[in-house]
Chains A and B, each alone.
Chain A
Amino acid sequence: ELKVEQNPLFLSMQEGKNYTIYCNYSTTSDRLYWYRQDPGKSLESLFVLLSNGAVKQEGRLMASLDTKARLSTLHITAAVHDLSATYFCAVGISYNNNDMRFGAGTRLTVKP
């Protein structure tokens, strides 16, 4: 059974600092998603990573995928308050049913 672990679960950081969120998964998959959820809101898709070595960047966020290590990272550069949210990774199980398993989420708080 596919298990997805994110760490840290809670992250408090100051504006301007860099940090990385990690997403480990237990079985083979070549499809990984990152989502953002603001408090009381729905999930918003950030990145889709499809192959080993894939790297995608949007603003201060950069996501990467290492399928051999079964690891994805979400790197935050020079954090700003607007990045405060909960970030989820989700790992695809099968193309047949688009089933995904979500990590527990990382609640990020960026302080001035």
Chain B
Amino acid sequence: DADVTQTPRNRITKTGKRIMLECSQTKGHDRMYWYRQDPGLGLRLIYYSFDVKDINKGEISDGYSVSRQAQAKFSLSLESAIPNQTALYFCATSDPAVAGVKQETQYFGPGTRLLVL
């Protein structure tokens, strides 16, 4: 079974709808992240959470919100979806204790492809 899972894997929605993307992990990592990937732009950080009580904005948080329900679960919400939020969304986890804070590596989920019409 995959260590980092995302649901749904594909989603089509309409402008103005509220949607939630979910991420679960079995790696036991405290740190979780949400990124979006657009063609030609690499990945950009939306939000990150270092534990259940710690949530921080990333590079492009406007239009998004998150919820850290438990160590293993981190959800991303689009309160009112708009077409330019069409993208591939990735969840990732990390743990500085695995290889030391300097070598902290992020482990990515399979991605959710979102289309906003």
Contacts and interface: CB of A to CB of B under 8 A. Distances in A.
A57 interface: no
A88 interface: yes
Nearest to A30: B102
A4 to B, nearest CB: 7
B48 interface: yes
Contacts of B59: 99, 101
Contacts of B45: 99-100
Interface stretch (A13-21, A63-71, A75-83, A102-110): A102-110
Contacts, number: 54
A45 B107 contact: yes
A50 B104 CA distance: 10
A44 B105 CA distance: 10
Interface stretch (B13-21, B78-86, B108-116): B108-116
B105 A48 contact: yes
Interface string A41-62: 1111100101000000000000
Interface residues of A, number: 23
A105 B42 CA distance: 6
Interface in A28-47: 31, 33, 41-45
Given A90-B42, A98-B48, A102-B44, 15 more contacts: A33-B105, A42-B109, A42-B110, A43-B108, A44-B108, A48-B105, A50-B102, A50-B103, A88-B43, A95-B102, A99-B45, A99-B59, A100-B45, A100-B106, A104-B40
Interface of B: 31, 40-45, 48, 50, 56, 58-59, 90, 92, 94, 96, 101-111
